[in-house]
């Protein structure tokens, strides 16, 4: 569910017409709904009610400070994967004890930043990383709380580029080596082993892969406790999918996911952490674009937009599907037309959709990409020297620009010519 609905034939974000935002901000732009962000966070929090838990938002999905502060106000923790994300979380008012540091390539500088600024735990992904973190912690005269990310070799049944829990993926240590690696961690004076971490992928639409992974985590918990480790926290990652196409079957609800977690792991006496990102932010955001031209090809019509692959890379990178809807609803009885929806970038890959049916559209009409809140603005670039797309947050009948569109002058001023020029 989201809070982008048609009112009197015009698409609105909560109580604000999208067309009104476009008049103030220009196109393309991202628009987020506060009500949707809050609702989706609460669904996860309520799904784990009755357990000791923390919902840590995976901020790589959408990391604008206003989004982070909205979720932090509800008690969200943050899952970060870089020093920059850690700094963003702190700037949004998230205390260190609610920040989890994940990622396969943490540097010594990032480790030092988190240890000095406060951290809930590091999710360690390899023995070399473990050794480096131990050295940094001892240098600072402290202990780094850690979980070890295990790779359970479970097929998440998702796109190959967002699967993370199979043996050929770069993430975590093989679960078959877990006891050996935990024994090594226990010998390092700068580390405090507190739990287990697992994350098998993103955009999962079935619960069974989660269940298989969590059953392996359950068995490992018993083994590690028998080896003398104080396993008191289980970080279960994120990955629950969203329905990008409205006609598709609905993925499992957070309530079903929470019930499965309680069933498989509820009697272990461990604190549970989950790290949803896409399901919190995905349906909370739109990308709004204007039709520049309608071009007639040999055997098809092209809808050429002012948004491009540099603004929303998911279709080019993952062959991802997004519903594309007109901002002004079709009149009853209007026959749809079929378009290839493309952007202006000089790449054939700058294609959002092929053969998509919608009401007849003309230059100047606005369209909205649904479910664009996750992995949209955060993955945008300035390819073709196109300014980064602005971001807007709506709350009720109010809206605010939370990241402005840079001017061409601002973009050019970031470059520096060498003295010999």
Annotated catalytic residues are: 346
What CA–CA distance (Å, rounded) separates 375 from 195? 29
CB 74 within 8 A of CB 57: no
CB 11 within 8 A of CB 18: yes
CB atoms within 10 A of CB 78: 26
Query: Could you tell me which of 230, 325, 258 has the C-alpha nearest to residue 46?
Result: 258
DSSP 380: -
Query: Could you tell me which of 36, 30, 35, 34 has the C-alpha nearest to residue 18?
Result: 30
CA distances to 48, 327, 377, 403, 418 from 381, rounded to whole Å, are 37, 25, 9, 14, 24
What CA–CA distance (Å, rounded) separates 352 from 375? 15
Question: 165: which 2 tokens?
Answer: 């829990």
DSSP 339: E
CA distances to 32, 142, 291, 316, 360 from 363, rounded to whole Å, are 25, 61, 5, 24, 11
């Amino acid at each position: 569910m989201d809070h982008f609905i048609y009112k009197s034939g015009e698409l609105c974000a909560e109580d604000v017409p999208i067309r009104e935002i476009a008049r103030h901000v220009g196109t393309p732009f991202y628009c987020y709904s506060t009500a949707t962000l809050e609702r989706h966070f609460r669904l996860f929090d309520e799904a784990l009610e009755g357990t000791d838990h923390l919902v840590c938002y995976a901020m790589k999905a959408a990391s604008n400070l206003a989004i982070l502060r909205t979720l932090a106000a509800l008690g969200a923790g943050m899952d970060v994967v870089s020093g920059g994300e850690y700094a963003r979380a702190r700037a949004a008012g998230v205390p260190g004890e609610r920040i989890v540091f994940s990622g396969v390539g943490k540097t010594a500088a990032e480790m030092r930043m988190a240890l000095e600024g406060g951290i809930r735990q590091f999710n360690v992904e390899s023995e070399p990383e473990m050794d480096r973190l131990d050295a940094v912690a001892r240098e600072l005269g402290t202990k780094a709380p850690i979980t070890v990310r295990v790779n359970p070799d479970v097929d998440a049944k998702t796109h190959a580029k967002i699967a993370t829990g199979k043996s050929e993926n770069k993430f975590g240590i093989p679960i078959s080596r877990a006891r050996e690696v935990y024994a090594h961690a226990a010998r390092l004076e700068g580390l405090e082993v507190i739990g287990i971490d697992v994350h098998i992928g993103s955009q999962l639409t079935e619960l069974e892969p989660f269940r298989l992974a969590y059953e392996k985590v359950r068995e490992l918990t018993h083994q590690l406790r028998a080896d003398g480790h104080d396993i008191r926290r289980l970080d279960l990652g994120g990955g629950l999918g969203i329905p990008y196409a409205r006609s598709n079957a609905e993925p499992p609800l957070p309530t079903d996911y929470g019930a499965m977690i309680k069933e498989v792991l509820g009697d272990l006496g461990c604190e549970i952490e989950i790290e949803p990102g896409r399901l919190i932010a995905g349906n909370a955001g739109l990308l709004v674009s204007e039709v520049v031209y309608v071009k007639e090809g040999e055997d098809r019509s092209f809808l050429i937009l002012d948004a491009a692959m540099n603004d929303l890379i998911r279709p080019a990178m993952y062959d991802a599907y997004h519903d594309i809807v007109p901002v002004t609803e079709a009149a009853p009885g209007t026959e749809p037309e079929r378009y290839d929806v493309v952007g202006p970038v000089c790449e054939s890959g700058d294609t959002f959709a092929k053969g998509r049916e919608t009401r007849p559209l003309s230059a100047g009409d606005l369209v909205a990409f649904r479910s664009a809140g996750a992995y949209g603005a955060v993955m945008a670039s300035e390819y073709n020297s196109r300014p980064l797309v602005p971001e807007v947050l709506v709350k009720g009948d109010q809206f605010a620009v939370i990241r402005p569109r840079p001017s061409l002058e601002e973009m050019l001023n970031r470059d520096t010519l060498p003295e010999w020029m």
